[in-house]
Structure 1
Amino acid sequence: MPASWILFDVGGVLELVDDVTWPVAYVARCADRLSITVEEFESRLATTQLPDAGTRSGVEDDFWRVLGSAVGAGQDVLSVMREDFWDAYCGTANVELIDCARSLVGRAGLAILSNSADGAREQEERRYGFSAIFDPICYSHEIGVNKPDPRVYRRTLDAMGAQAEQVLFIDNRPENVEAARRLGMQAVVHADNQATIAMINSWISGTRAVQA
């Protein structure tokens, strides 16, 4: 097994996407397609029990069926909404950071831990081919729990066959980084590629002088 590992988050790290703003913009586009207000769209969803696609797998189709029925979307509009969702969710590739990871294949273990929605594995693999670089790829909807719950980190460590002290974890959310540190991982908040790549190089070189 590798002597050291780098564990990456996806959204906001390997993918360029703002997890705060894109859902708001997405809801506005959906409402516009349905010729209703954002408030009406949200009201219709508020009274609907959607399947939990964040911690369950095999529910994606049912999720969209229930959502479409709730907001009054016909099949054609719902298909557009679904495609738009995945485009917004996946953002664009952080090419510089992905290329950095690719350059480390064979030098360190490379893995992913991501809070996710059912369908993310297929969508991200189609767009970015993560499986050619990262193994394992751990998604919350398949594990059944989200970061920062410590269980998701422990299950990921088990999948990696690694001890916490062997792992550098990179995430854009401070609460997820703090949870990893509490379990004994080195962990850093991703702010920009230059700083993150410098931290990775320090880790790989054995210096381990990693700062938040």
Structure 2
Amino acid sequence: MTGAGTPPTARVEAVVLDYGGVLTGPVKESIAAWIEADGIDPASFSRTLKAWMSRGAPAGTPIHRLETGELTVEEFDALLAAQLTMVDGRPVDPVGVLSRLFAGMRPDPEMFALVEELRALGLRVALLSNSWGNTYPRERLDALLDPVVVSGEVGLRKPAAPIYELTLARLGVAAGNAVFVDDAEPNVLGARAVGMRAHLHVDASSTRAALAALVPGLRPTPDGPPRAHPEDVGPTAPRALD
């Protein structure tokens, strides 16, 4: 699906990527490993996540305030731990909760390779991430991605329109010429609402294939030939992103 008001043949000039769950492996796998290792009652975590992060959650939950930098990691750790219980009924140690929750996240080499290919094709590639106090590999990201927009550093968060608009302004491209990739559907919908194309990330292979349908010269598989594009073979419009 294209973004609101986006011409289906608009040239893609920039790709904007989320970090956790897009440039890394699935966040849910890291969370599952933490829950098992720390003996967290899964129901207590699911209940808290729903209350603080679901579409029906009120504005200003602890997650919202963490993402915009209004809460420190230590403050959030204490609030989250207070909502959780261990499977044996004991309280959860608040020290380092987020660090342990994200300890299993690892960069996805296929996605970093995709970034390199997009840059080699002349596209701008940016990062737009809602931060949970994550320790980003900033040296690596700053070398590959420009701009790097982190919610806690700019006081804005997805899926509200201002953070997408800020990213587009820093890129210097119109919304219709940018593609956004995120693993959370509300963030994808937020990007579409400001006129960006957007793709819901599941894995590196499907995201590469979706982008290859729009970016001339990008291979739909890492070792395959570039896909033929409308400007190469005729006037048919490229397939919109899902």
TM-score by length of 2: 0.64
Structure 2 unmatched runs, 5+ = 1-10, 52-60, 83-90, 217-228, 231-237
Q: 1:124 maps to which residue?
A: 136
Q: Per-residue displacement from partner, 1:37-61 (whole Å, max 9, x unpaired)?
A: 678999xxx9xx9693221168234
Q: 2:125 maps to which residue?
A: 110
Cα distance, 1:69 vs structure 2 = 9.1
Structure 1 unmatched runs, 5+ = none
Cα distance, 1:98 vs structure 2 = 1.1
Distance 1:103 1:39 in 2: 41
Which segment drifts farther, 173-182 or 105-114? 173-182
Counterpart code for 2:101: F
SS at match of 2:209: helix
Q: Does the alignment pair 1:4 with 2:13?
A: yes
Q: Percent identity, please.
A: 24
Q: Does the alignment pair 1:78 with 2:90?
A: no
Q: Per-residue displacement from partner, 1:130-154 (whole Å, max 9, x unpaired)?
A: 2211111112222323221112211
Structure 2 residue corresponding to 1:94, chosen from 105, 108, 111: 108
Q: Compared with structure 1, are the counterparts of its residues 40 and 157 closer, same or farther at alpha carbon in structure 2 (3 Å cutoff)?
A: closer
Q: Compared with structure 1, are the counterparts of its residues 210 and 38 closer, same or farther at alpha carbon in structure 2 (3 Å cutoff)?
A: closer
Work out whether residues 169 and 187 of structure 1, in 8 Å CA contact, stay in contact via their aligned partners in 2. Answer: yes
Distance 1:87 1:135 in 2: 26
Matches within 5 A, 1:1-212: 4-19=13-28, 22-23=30-31, 26-27=34-35, 29-31=37-39, 52-56=65-69, 59-64=72-77, 66=78, 73=93, 78-79=95-96, 81=97, 83-88=99-104, 91-106=105-120, 107-118=122-133, 120=134, 123-125=135-137, 129-205=140-216, 207=230, 208-212=238-242
Cα distance, 1:17 vs structure 2 = 1.7
SS at match of 1:7: strand
Distance 1:141 1:109 in 2: 23
Q: Per-residue displacement from partner, 1:163-208 (whole Å, max 9, x unpaired)?
A: 1011011112222222212211111112232221122233221754
Higher fraction of helix: 1
Work out whether residues 176 and 196 of structure 2, in 8 Å CA contact, stay in contact via their aligned partners in 1. Answer: yes
Give the number of aligned pairs: 191
Supply the RMSD in Å over aligned alpha carbons: 3.5
